[in-house]
């Protein structure tokens, strides 16, 4: 039976493979948890993969902001709450928050999605009625999405949309970009200090088999800017900050 609740909650327990060598959950894992609870929420409304196929539509991530305010370690039980807002123009906002066993917020994710026509990739201003979205709140909490650019960007390797990095849309899954940015950041910092924030702006799809060049730069306050390009096309930009 479908539920049209505007909020979905679930419990998770962090496992070894979702965490790093310091036993902390990785930013990429937090985004994957966010993606899954978002999918579960849509499924509970009856807005399933089959419904998207029937209507010839797909959701693409435009931007995502992750803020980490507490430690989340292997074995910790977390409580997740996700809630979307009514779309503004073509942008669908969804806010997901993570809480520890004491009810303290440990992380939050502000995700901005766009609904597109699968064949033309044209952005749809209004979802087809056949999708059956319920009434949602007008607003949810939001993050600042401003991307800062470094004056100098240095080569930071390459990345490919390999088979295991791609999703059902045959392009690199949006959560993989968080892993790529973390791997490009200075290793000594990643070993010693947890991230406090990560902002990703997606400009173009990286389709199965395609490759992009990664670059990394330092911002004036010591934060980092990262980017990926395929030839002259910008694929993504990112900012990352470490906890003091």
Residue from 199, 15, 17 nearest 108 by CA = 199
Statement: residue 1 has pLDDT above 80: no
pLDDT digits (tens, 9 = 90+) for 90-102: 789 999 999 999 9
Statement: residue 181 has pLDDT above 70: yes
pLDDT for the residue 3: 66
pLDDT digits (tens, 9 = 90+) for 4-42: 899 999 999 999 999 999 999 999 999 999 999 999 999
Mean pLDDT of the chain: 95
Rg (the chain; Cα; Å): 18
Between 87 and 63, the higher pLDDT residue = 63
* pTM (predicted TM-score): 0.95
Task: Calculate what percentage of the chain has a pLDDT beyond 70.
Answer: 99
Ramachandran quadrant class, 69 (left: phi over 0; alpha: psi -120 to 50; beta: rest): alpha
| DSSP string for 59-123 | EEEEEEEEEE-S--BTT-EEEEEEEE---BTTEEEEEEEEE-TTS-EEEEEEEEEEEEETTT-PB
Q: Rounded to an integer, what distance in angstroms lies between the CA atom of residue 49 and that of residue 39? A: 9
């Amino acid at each position: 039976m479908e539920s049209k609740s505007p909020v979905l909650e679930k419990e998770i327990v962090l496992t070894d493979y979702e965490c790093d060598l310091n036993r902390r959950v990785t930013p990429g894992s937090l985004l994957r948890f966010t993606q899954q609870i978002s999918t579960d929420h849509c499924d509970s409304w009856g807005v399933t993969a089959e419904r998207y196929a029937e209507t010839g539509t797909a959701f693409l991530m435009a931007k995502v902001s992750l803020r980490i305010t507490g430690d989340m370690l292997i074995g910790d039980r977390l409580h997740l709450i996700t809630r979307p807002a009514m779309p503004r123009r073509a942008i669908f906002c969804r806010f997901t928050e993570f809480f520890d066993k004491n009810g303290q917020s440990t992380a939050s994710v502000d995700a901005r999605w766009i609904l597109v026509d699968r064949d033309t990739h044209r952005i749809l201003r209004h979802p087809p009625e056949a999708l059956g979205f319920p009434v949602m709140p007008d607003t949810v909490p939001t993050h600042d999405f401003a991307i800062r650019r470094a004056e100098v960007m240095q080569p930071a390797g390459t990345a490919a949309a390999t088979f295991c990095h791609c999703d059902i849309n045959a392009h690199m899954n949006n959560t993989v970009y968080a892993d790529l940015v973390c791997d490009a950041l200075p290793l000594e910092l990643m070993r010693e200090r947890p991230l406090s924030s990560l902002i990703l702006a997606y400009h173009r799809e990286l389709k199965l088999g395609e490759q992009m060049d990664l670059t990394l730069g330092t911002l004036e306050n010591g934060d980092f800017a990262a980017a990926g390009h395929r030839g002259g096309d910008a694929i993504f930009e990112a900012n990352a900050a470490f906890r003091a």
